[in-house]
Amino acid sequence: MTEKRRTIFHLDMDHFFTAAEQKQRPELKGKPVVVGADPKEGRGRGVVSTANYEAREFGIRSGMPISRAWKLCPQAVYLPLDFKLYTQISDENMILLRTYTDKFEQWGIDEAFLDVTSRVKDYGEAESLARRIKAHIKESQGLTCSIGIGPNKLVAKIATDIQKPDGLTTVTNGEVERFLAPLPVRKLLWVGRKTEQKLQNMGVKTIGDLANCDPTILTEIFGSLGTQLCLMAHGIDKSEVEEREGIKSISRETTFQEDTADIRLVLQTMHNMTEQVQSDCHERHLSFKTVTIKIRYENFETHTKSKTLPFITNRLQDLNKAAVDLLALHVKPERKVRLIGVRVSNFVKTDRQKTLL
């Protein structure tokens, strides 16, 4: 199984929301900063969206209840989400990055893949290009990012995480299997906790263990996911870096740092996400008709439920009502929730001036 030789970059901004806040308020440099729900001196509901690296030293992580973060580090600076700011910086970053390749794919708000195969001769040139990109972002935005370089998207994405913040990690074609082998299987994009548990029961802990498994047994146990797992364990990923056409939906999801049966925490987290989604729609001059929620329980059972409104809207109260109605109808209160998400779709563009321009 040989792959066409490619050079792919995966770039991920460092502690993105807090970095954006620190860019606006340089006096916060060097201090622990947390963005997310209001901690209300330890009585607040909702979760941490992100924490800068100074705050991570205290154990604060994305998805952690904000009340717990407060206990770990009451002296941190706690800020509400300013989604307008994050979208604006993200859009500027993406415009800058697009100038480095014609094969580009945005991935979430602060990540991107770049296929630079036609722009570099070897890994040495690739690293110089990556350094130039990092310097360019630093210079124009005052922000740092981490880049992973690899022969495909899978390896590049895993490589980015190796050195963070402000990292640069290269995994050449010949190094792929050696690089992946010691890493835990959960590093592979599609391995959730349930699959991880099943693999652990089979004695498979690392990607190397997985690569040594008999592919027919993996397919027998996991079906088509088994074939996918086997290819990924050998570092094979043929997916192309490609720009997705137009925006079909806008969504946010939160994985709780610990599974929770606290319905108030779930509701508050949902409210924080609907605010972000609505603000994102507003920024992009989009109104929507369909609202979808996603609930994943502790055993990884996942449900999505949608509601198409009888009207087109971009109002927060309509989105909130639809999301909360869907939650009330479908969430099972006795079960622990691992993740919740909200998505809007069925868009209508609402800004005529923008269209004329």
State the residues that interact with ligand TTP by CB under 6 A.
Answer: 12-17, 49-50, 62-63, 109-110, 164-165, 254-255
Residue from the set 110, 209, 237, 318 that interacts with Mg ion by CB under 5 A: 110
Q: Which of 51, 59, 45, 44 is nearest to 18 (CA)?
A: 51
- For the bound state, the minimum distance from the C-beta of residue 113 to ligand TTP, rounded and expressed in Å, comes to 14
β-strands 168-170, 145-150 pairing: parallel
User: Which residues are catalytic, by number?
Assistant: 111
Residue from the set 13, 66, 143, 273 that interacts with Mg ion by CB under 5 A: 13
- For the bound state, the minimum distance from the C-beta of residue 312 to ligand TTP, rounded and expressed in Å, comes to 27
Alpha-carbon dihedral 197, 203, 205, 208, rounded to 10 degrees:
-140
- Span of 6-14, 64-72, 123-131, 337-345 interacting with Mg ion by CB under 5 A: 6-14
- Closest to Mg ion by CB, 13 or 168: 13
- Closest to ligand TTP by CB, 147 or 230: 147
244 DSSP 8-state letter: P
Tell me which of ligand TTP, Mg ion, none is bound by residue 62, counting a contact when its beta carbon lies within the kind-specific cut-off of 5 to 8 angstroms.
Answer: ligand TTP
Tell me which of Mg ion, ligand TTP, none is bound by residue 320, counting a contact when its beta carbon lies within the kind-specific cut-off of 5 to 8 angstroms.
Answer: none
Cα 251 → chain centroid: 11
> To which H or E segment does residue 178 belong?
helix 176-180
- Closest to ligand TTP by CB, 165 or 184: 165
Residues in the chain: 357
Degrees, nearest 5: CA angle 213-215-198: 60
The count of C-alpha atoms lying within 13 angstroms of the C-alpha of 41, restricted to the half-sphere facing its C-beta, is: 0
Q: Which of 39, 91, 86 is nearest to 66 (CA)?
A: 39
- Closest to Mg ion by CB, 147 or 293: 147
Note whether 12 binds Mg ion by CB under 5 A. Answer: yes
- For the bound state, the minimum distance from the C-beta of residue 356 to ligand TTP, rounded and expressed in Å, comes to 33
Q: In a 3-state reduction of DSSP, which class is residue 156?
A: helix
- Closest to Mg ion by CB, 36 or 226: 36
Tell me which of Mg ion, ligand TTP, none is bound by residue 184, counting a contact when its beta carbon lies within the kind-specific cut-off of 5 to 8 angstroms.
Answer: none
Alpha-carbon distance of 17 to 176, in angstroms, equals 32
